[in-house]
Amino acid sequence: MSKLTYRVSYYVLYAIFAVILVVLALFYLGGEAATPVVSEMSNPAYTDALLYLMYGLLGFAIVVTLIAFIIQFGTALKDNPVAALKSLIGVILLAIVLIVAWSMGSAEPMEIQGFDGTENRDPFWLKITDMFIYTLYFLIGANIVAMLFSGIKRRLS
């Protein structure tokens, strides 16, 4: 079973690499769109394809992560229920960080030059964008702190 999992992940990885390379080649070598949004700004013809690829890869990563977490949690719950429940601490902490970041987010519209869309006026999307940015800052800071403490702990041991 392990060899099958390795083989499937191997082919999926290289298929994703191929799609990424094709879309990046289209984006960089595909020329400019016929009607640029603002005449002074570059507007590659395949920007939509690149954005859809990124949305797809993000969605794929989220789905695979959730499925793996559920399978691992279910397996751990059978073997050691206490350890399985302790593994939920990280998920609960992430949910708390998301809630705090949501409450810190601003619903004030931004002034974006050359943008006339309605998404900048919707308080929900403004707050969710701030939530993701603040969560990213927190996770980067937590990673830096964890690296520092693990290095210090290793030196002291």
Q: What's the rounded Cα separation, in Å, for the pair 103 and 33?
A: 39
- As beta bridge partners, residue 32 has 44
Alpha-helix residue ranges (DSSP H) falling in 30-80: 47-79
The residue assigned the tokens 């290289």 is 14
pLDDT tens-digit series, residues 3-13: 888 899 899 99
Closest alpha carbon to 129 in 104, 147, 97: 104
pTM of the model: 0.67
Are the C-beta atoms of residues 89 and 82 closer than 8 Å to each other? no
Low-confidence ranges of the chain (pLDDT < 70): 1, 35-39
pLDDT score, position 67: 93
Residue 58, CB half-sphere, CA atoms under 13 Å: how many?
A: 6
pLDDT tens-digit series, residues 36-53: 556 677 778 899 999 999
Closest alpha carbon to 135 in 110, 105, 106: 105
Q: What's the rounded Cα separation, in Å, for the pair 149 and 157?
A: 12
